[in-house]
Chain A
Amino acid sequence: MNKIVGKEHFSENVVKFEVEAPLIAKSRKAGHFVIVRVGEKGERIPLTIADADVEKGTITLVVQKIGVSTTRLCALNVGDEITDVVGPLGKATHIEKFGTVVCAGGGVGVAPLLPIVKSLKAAGNKVVTVLAARNKDLIILEKEMREFSDEVIIMTDDGSTGKKGLVTQGVEEVINREKVDLCVTIGPAIMMKFVSLLTKKYNLPTVASLNTIMVDGTGMCGACRLTVDGKTKFVCVDGPEFDAHQVDFDEMLMRMGAYREIEQADLANKFGKK
């Protein structure tokens, strides 16, 4: 059982939690994720760690309310306990001084991008962060990103803040104006696919952090598998970060939909939503 000690709404459907997990706070590194379960009949879902405070013994998770499990999680408040939190899982981000790094985050993917931005900056890189969302209200962690990035470019679909356009336009703008050595992208699979297609055109090495369906998260079930460079890889133990240019994003998008119909019916059944 892990107690929630902080809760903040970024938007109606995006919540930031600070959760007591002293051992995980101590051992986690940028790029790691945890498996979380809410309730005795709860599902095991992977969430990438957005931040940690070793002194306080807490980790930060940012959750978007989508299905049954995230709805249950987002309904919890300060003082409530999460039934299970286990981790840190996956391989940590490979951090070194690359030179100039573009970090492209979309939606709640911005949260797990933050520790990577911090680590890259601390390793002496010039970090240009591109944050993208549908509108102004859905841009998260802008202040924190500005603190650790050399520059932050905001892109929104409707132009309500920053520039009007997609994340790829922001990334391309940077590529066109200066030498970029690495791109790191985290966000919806479809966004990462297009970032990857763009950077491939420019031969810019790109790392994507994937958030596939998982059950145990420790390499046991293989639910998270996908094709990378023609070989089957397990996101939970081989990843979650991969060379984006080798990832079969179409397969990933397909596999992400495996339980969509069942999940929507379950959501309607349990929470009366469609």
Chain B
Amino acid sequence: MAEDRNEVWREELRKATKNSERVQIPRIHMNELNAHFRARTRDEVNQGLTMEQALQESRRCLDCPNPTCMSGCPVSINIPGFIKNIERGEILEAAKVLKQTSALPAVCGRVCPQEKQCESQCTYKLKLKKEPVAIGYLERFAADYERESGHVSVPEIAAKNGVKVAVVGSGPAGLSFAGDMAKKGYSVTVFEALHEIGGVLKYGIPEFRLPNHIVDVEIESLRGMGVEFVKDCIVGKTISMEDLKKDGYKGVFVASGAGLPRFMNIPGENLIGVMSSNEYLTRVNLMDASNEESDTPVLKGKNVAVVGGGNTAMDSVRTALRLGAERAMIVYRRSEEEMPARLEEVKHAKEEGVEFMTLHNPIEYLGDEKGRVKTMRLQVMELGEPDASGRRSPVPVEGKIIEVDVDVVVVSIGVSPNPIVPHSVNGLDVSPKGTIVVNEGMQSSIPTIFAGGDIVRGGATVILAMGDGRAAAKSMDEYLKK
């Protein structure tokens, strides 16, 4: 429990409104753009809460003596602490509380799967069987309020200790680590392979869910804390780990993310028009390919199928609508219940007109004379016994195969870790899957090298990557102080 719960204002706030009154307030609904309209624009779907809505929602929070919600947060945000600051109208204070543990509150408030994390552990959910406090909406509200107020606070930074540390990759894990290490007084340099800082937040997550300018503000705030960024520099290629050591870096945090997209290895998968979600989203998000001024092309399909059921699949299929698809389909081999995507993404996709072809699995793609995909053959599936993951595994319904016309297929069935760092460092312990092996302190088999995010997990969420960044910062700091 955070000590600030005992502060006088918190006690008064708790007394001011009875819990019996608080629990009567219904959970707030997010303001959203109209589904029909938004499906053809890049504007952000969720419009955020108004001050009035945020104040109302903040009153629902019971400021529990044992805030279980915090145990559901990978970066241990002081959740009641920031929510109660909203309730008393100190929104900038609320933002400061968020920044104590999160380098990217405006990002987390938008893309975290709260229903599986903090909100799943909320007392409303656990004890009262009611809808949880909208922690994610409130987080976003506080972060957006601060940004728009023009009074962006810079977190307190310890005196410079003169120790240099390097970060490989500027995605959520790298940024979270960089923020924490800067606060501890380290000189932090982040090396990024691409021409933009932000990693998956820039190339992967679309504008309609996480606008790039929001990410840029968070990056600017890290710059304000003294973090340096070097783009177009690939550690393991442009410079080596040895070079970093020679340049005086005492520790390196590898957060190079997911690399190689997975394909299904079925006939016709290399036809023109079949591509990975990484390629599709990178062209549209990072390279701005749907803008006529951009030199990067993208295939805009009329009939677009996205294979997979995760958040990236939802991002891809909703992007297809925004590029003008007449028919945008999710093709998923299990049922909707097993889909790993956030509930909100599935709901939004449906509202926007995405067709869900669950219990269908692609087995072959057929092309035209120029090698462009034109038909997808799908095996109809049904659910069998639960598999190793506990989900009921899909099995083919014999003889039931259907054909669907497609001109773009986006394969979104996961990624393998980026091989560049694991391949370029001698003595680094790497798993058979290609992930870097680390201990509970995110330390690799080489003591000065730490790692986190998808290069360790093989494919997870923004917030888990950020949690790794925080854990690695704590542990590297302890190691370097020895």
Contacts and interface: CB of A to CB of B under 8 A. Distances in A.
Interface of A: 23-24, 27, 37, 39, 41-44, 68-69, 72, 83-89, 215-216, 218-223, 225-227, 232, 234, 237, 251, 254-255, 257-259, 262-263, 266, 269-270
A255 B371 contact: yes
B112 interface: no
A222 B263 contact: yes
Contacts of A23: 233, 238-239
| Interface of chain A, main secondary structure | mixed
Interface string B355-391: 0000000000000001100000000000000000000
A232 B267 CA distance: 11
B238 A219 contact: no
Interface in B245-267: 258-261, 263, 265
Contacts of B203: 216, 220
Interface stretch (B3-11, B20-28, B278-286): B278-286
Nearest to A67: B295
A69 B297 CA distance: 11
A254 B371 contact: yes
B194 A222 contact: no
A44 B193 contact: no
B418 A220 contact: yes
B291 A41 contact: yes
B373 to A, nearest CB: 11
B260 A220 contact: yes
Contacts of B239: 23, 27
Contacts of A227: 270
B232 to A, nearest CB: 4
Given A41-B291, A87-B237, A220 B278 contact: yes
Interface of B: 193-195, 203, 231-234, 237-240, 258-261, 263, 265, 269-270, 272-273, 275-276, 278-279, 282-283, 287-288, 291-297, 299, 370-371, 418-420
8 contacts: A37-B195, A41-B288, A43-B295, A84-B231, A86-B233, A218-B259, A222-B279, A254-B371
| CB-based closest 5 A-B pairs | A254-B371, A221-B279, A43-B295, A86-B232, A262-B297
A234 B233 CA distance: 21
B270 A88 contact: no
A251 B270 contact: yes
B195 A221 contact: no
Contacts of A222: 260-261, 263, 275-276, 278-279
B194 A216 contact: yes
Nearest to A218: B193
Nearest to A250: B371
Contacts of A41: 288, 291, 293-295
Nearest to B196: A84
B232 A218 contact: no
A269 B259 CA distance: 34
From B193, B232, B292, B418, residue with most partner A Cβ within 10 Å? B232
Nearest to B200: A220
Given A27-B238, A232-B270, A223 B287 contact: no
A232 B265 contact: yes
A84 B195 CA distance: 7
A237 B238 contact: no
Given A23-B233, A23-B239, A215-B283, A237 B263 contact: no
A86 B203 CA distance: 17
B261 A221 contact: yes
Contacts of B279: 215, 221-223
B465 to A, nearest CB: 16
Contacts of A237: 259-260, 419-420
A242 to B, nearest CB: 15
A256 to B, nearest CB: 10
A257 B272 contact: yes
A154 to B, nearest CB: 35
Contacts of B193: 86, 216, 218
A99 B275 CA distance: 41
Contacts of A258: 272-273, 299
Contacts of A234: 260
Given A223-B275, A237-B419, A257-B370, A86 B195 contact: yes
Contact of B295 (A68, A88, A216): A68
A255 B419 CA distance: 24
B305 to A, nearest CB: 17
B455 to A, nearest CB: 12
B167 to A, nearest CB: 17
From A39, A86, A226, residue with most partner B Cβ within 10 Å? A86
Contacts of A221: 261, 275-276, 278-279, 282
B260 A226 contact: no
B282 to A, nearest CB: 5
B278 A44 contact: no
From A24, A84, A222, A266, residue with most partner B Cβ within 10 Å? A222
Contacts of B238: 23-24, 27, 86-88
Nearest to B296: A43
A69 B295 contact: yes
B435 to A, nearest CB: 15
A241 to B, nearest CB: 16
From B239, B287, B296, residue with most partner A Cβ within 10 Å? B296
B420 A219 contact: yes
A89 B283 CA distance: 20
B80 to A, nearest CB: 40
Contacts of A220: 203, 258-261, 278, 282, 418
A221 to B, nearest CB: 4
Contact of A232 (B237, B263, B272, B297): B263
Given A41-B295, A215-B283, A220-B260, 7 more contacts: A24-B238, A41-B291, A44-B287, A216-B194, A216-B203, A222-B278, A266-B295
Contacts of A232: 263, 265, 269-270
Nearest to A226: B270
A58 to B, nearest CB: 15
A227 to B, nearest CB: 6
A247 to B, nearest CB: 12
Contact of B232 (A27, A39, A72, A84): A84
Nearest to B372: A258
A44 B296 contact: yes
Nearest to A32: B237
A255 B297 contact: no
A42 to B, nearest CB: 5
Contacts of B260: 219-220, 222, 234, 237
